[in-house]
Chain A
Amino acid sequence: MTGNIDLDQVLHTFIAEARELLEDMEAALLRVGGEADPRESINAIFRAAHTIKGSSGLFGLDAIVAFTHVAESVLDRAREGAVALDPALVALLLACGDYIGRMVDAVERAEPQADPGADPEGAALVQRLRVHLADEAVPATQSASASAAIDGGPARWHLSLRFGPDVLRNGMDPLSFIRYLATLGEIEQLVTLPDAVPGLDALEPEACCLGFEIAFLTRIDKAAIENVFEFVIDDCALRIVPPGSQVARYIELIESLPEGPRRLGEILVSCGSVTAHELETALHVQAASAPPRRIGAILADQGNVAPQVVEAALAKQKQFKEARGGESVRVDADKLDRLINLVGELVIATAGANLAAKRTRDLELIERNLTLAGLVEEVRDSALQLRMVKIGGTFNRFKRVVHDVARELGKDIELVVSGEDTELDKTVVEKIGDPLMHLVRNAIDHGIDSPERRAERGKPATGTLTLNALHDSGSIVIQVSDDGGGLDRERILAKALERGLVEPGRTMSDAEVHALIFEPGFSTAEHITNLSGRGVGMDVVRRNIEALRGNVAIASEPGRGTTVTVRLPLTLAIINGFQVGVGKSVFVVPMDVVDECIEFSCEPGQNYADLRGQVLPFIRLRDLFEVAGRPAGRQNIVVVKHAGQKFGLVVDALLGEAQTVIKPLSKMFAQVRGISGSSILGSGDVALILDVPLLMQGAQEARGIPALQAESLPAGH
């Protein structure tokens, strides 16, 4: 062996790239229907499938190879124009992409490979793919052995066995392994190699020197074949060439065996694994170009992989990457998280150093510390930037959802995406997927009416679902809009009364009524479909979004459509905070909700202030958190704005703006309402970060409006 590479690492890369390729394939499949000239997209789909097949082969992922091969063949026909990529075939190929994705997932979880021929789902897909293949001949690039792939029929494997000298002495009989193998399939051809058996004079009668070349027809997979030889594997060189392998793979086999190319070539031909012509051509080509031994060669040494196949596949992957444009480095998410954590600590330490410097009144030290603080801030921004990803990737996933769900419901829906370049923290992106998915499904299911209903209302038959993202003062705003029927105020109210969510006779604004759909157990769907409408949806969506320190609002116009607006922080790690003092405690208000600060003034006994003629409800933090001591002589109000409403927080001191690294609260404090996390100040003290949306509910209660939410904060008074 020329070197040692970490196969796990390579496999990991394969998995990541296979997923990217599947995404590309899906994107191309989804756009192909709307294109005047779909050739480029069809090519892209074919290339993706082809590359996945090629690189799967490198890792002996034969189930993926076999399955993808069938899909690739269909795509090949589409490329030739022999098969039309109509919506039905697109749907089928999308399902195939999913299936390959699941096989890749299984590889990642190191699960044994399911044989798609045996798996009913895989077999059904192959069956449906075959319809498009008709009686197409086996593609020319395949060797003669590429017979029936996995359509339930057996596949043709080539096994090359060389038993070691100790096999017989260890009580193993090669013959019995072959007998056992024969029970698992059909030994179509077998050549016993007498080459290594010397004459009687030189023979050590108890040392085994037998070898076999076997053409084996079976339904079992590679692992199962290897299992046959499990007990003897240390003493036996076993090489397996999977069904449908390229001739190059046999060339490698020939080279790796001691018998010499001419002799083995004949044997392989006699096994029917390759044709004489293929062999000659391949050997000739190979002699002409001696390939450099690189990663492929090492791989080939470890597994039984032909260097040409490896090279070709790697080159293809490289090409593909280049085509994707832009240079990038793959970094482990864990490493990135560690960096962010360290930067967080650095920010805290810098704040501490600044404080200490100020106390010394040494101007130079203070100045230098400030320079340092400026740099740390830049480092923090760049580090956070590393974790920023565009939301476009998430949006694109919904193209698929819209396509599938609309099809299922018999609706015609177009997805319009805008703001896909808007960036947000990777951790936020990962967590927003599910809630968004629910909102999108909900919009398709409940929002957009059937084509007939739309026609009645004089709308175009094709409904439009819009996903939009934008940055707004330290938050990312994601909007899911539909041009459907809008929310039915009366029905929501009726349902809310029935469920006891509102008291009868109360007048409520439209916004308040609409907000009811986020209540637990609320669902207005008259027909429960299998997509949504189980009444578990919207409240879970709200809870998930709030767990990300975000919020969700809904706006709807009868007959015109509904827009759900999700507002999320850009990052979960560090915020710009506004520090306020109450007694000896320090609280942090996220800067992006702080509107202004005013001097506290109010009539005794009132819990609202006068903000330039407007009523401003407020909460006394001292009372809310039961801070000991008497209020300072001059108190202040921090006016915060959330979801279009303002309210005040009464505090003793305004301490100013500061970088705040968020540390989650331990589970012990999970019951504490109104606090979203903690942070360590430069002085080493702990500050609590206020959860403004929750406090606002408290403010509404204080104003005499019953909180809409089931769980509410104790009133501030």
Chain B
Amino acid sequence: MGTTSSLLRIDGELTIYRATELAAAMRTALAGVADGDMLELDLSGVTEMDSAGVQLLLAARRSAIESGRALGLTARSAAVDDVLAILHLTALFGDTVAQTH
């Protein structure tokens, strides 16, 4: 890969209760990524994810693509895998990343 990447690690809940806080964190992280580079999210520490969390990931992906960057999920906990599988989103997020577990 010719791109360098920044990493954002999210631990604990990826849910409605922290949606505003996490959205801000992602915005900040994305702003620090250079054009053409990738923001990698490490979700291996996520204990719970809900629809708000899914939406957050989708929004981050859109922002990244629209600003000429990319978004990847480097690592996912079982909770995240489970939700992505149910919503048939694994492929959408999985195509940019190598599974780590």
Contact = CB atoms under 8 A, between A and B. Distances in A.
Interface string A657-672: 0000000000000000
B54 A192 contact: yes
Contact of A208 (B52, B62, B83): B52
Nearest to A206: B19
Range of interface residues on chain A? 20 to 34
A501 to B, nearest CB: 77
Contacts of A298: none
A173 interface: yes
Contacts of A182: 86
A209 B56 CA distance: 11
Interface in A173-199: 173-175, 178-179, 182, 187, 189-192, 194, 197-199
A175 B59 contact: no
A209 B88 CA distance: 17
Given A178-B87, A191-B88, A205-B56, A200 B63 contact: yes
B96 interface: no
A175 B50 contact: yes
Interface in B43-63: 50-52, 54-56, 58-63
B60 A210 contact: no
B51 A198 contact: no
Nearest to A171: B16
Contacts of B30: 200
Contacts of A199: 59, 62-63, 66
Contacts of A203: 23, 55-56, 59
B63 A205 contact: no
Given A200-B27, A205-B22, A174 B59 contact: no
Among B16, B61, B66, the most chain A Cβ lie within 10 Å of the Cβ of B16
Nearest to B84: A192
Contacts of B97: none
Given A178-B86, A206-B19, A206-B20, A168 B59 contact: no
B23 to A, nearest CB: 4
Range of interface residues on chain B? 20 to 34
Contact of B60 (A187, A200, A209): A200
Contact of A197 (B22, B55, B88): B55
A203 B23 CA distance: 8
Nearest to B26: A200
Contacts of A210: 51, 54-55
A162 to B, nearest CB: 13
A201 B87 CA distance: 24
B86 A209 contact: no
A210 B50 CA distance: 12
B88 A205 contact: no
Contacts of B66: 199
Nearest to B59: A203
B55 A190 contact: no
Given A175-B86, A198-B59, A205 B23 contact: yes
B59 A197 contact: yes
A197 B62 contact: yes
Among B19, B58, B88, the most chain A Cβ lie within 10 Å of the Cβ of B58
B62 A194 contact: yes
A182 B88 CA distance: 13
Contacts of A174: 51
Contacts of A198: 59, 62
Contact of B63 (A168, A187, A201): A201
A173 B19 CA distance: 13
Contact of B88 (A169, A173, A190, A200): A190
A208 B16 CA distance: 10
A175 B87 contact: yes
Nearest to A175: B51
A213 to B, nearest CB: 10
Interface in A145-179: 163, 167-169, 173-175, 178-179
A199 B56 CA distance: 9
A577 B15 CA distance: 85
Interface string B58-95: 11111100100000000000000001001111001000
A168 B15 CA distance: 10
Contacts of B19: 168, 205-206
B51 A208 contact: yes
A194 B51 contact: no
Nearest to B19: A205
A53 to B, nearest CB: 33
B25 to A, nearest CB: 10
Interface in A205-232: 205-206, 208-210, 212
A168 B27 contact: no
A200 B23 contact: yes
Among A174, A187, A209, A212, the most chain B Cβ lie within 10 Å of the Cβ of A174
Nearest to B56: A205
A194 B92 CA distance: 10
B93 to A, nearest CB: 11
A717 to B, nearest CB: 93
Nearest to A193: B58
A197 B62 CA distance: 8
A191 B91 CA distance: 11
B51 A173 contact: yes
Given A200-B26, A201-B27, A206-B19, A175 B54 contact: yes
Contact of B50 (A163, A173, A201, A212): A173
Among B30, B55, B60, the most chain A Cβ lie within 10 Å of the Cβ of B55
Contacts of B60: 200
A388 to B, nearest CB: 64
24 contacts: A173-B51, A173-B52, A174-B51, A175-B54, A175-B87, A187-B86, A191-B88, A194-B61, A194-B92, A197-B55, A199-B63, A200-B26, A200-B59, A200-B63, A201-B63, A203-B55, A203-B59, A205-B23, A205-B52, A205-B56, A206-B19, A206-B20, A208-B52, A208-B55
Query: Which 10 A-B pairs have CB atoms at the shortest separation, nearest pair first?
Result: A205-B19, A199-B63, A205-B23, A200-B63, A194-B58, A203-B59, A197-B58, A192-B87, A174-B51, A175-B51
Interface of A: 163, 167-169, 173-175, 178-179, 182, 187, 189-192, 194, 197-201, 203, 205-206, 208-210, 212
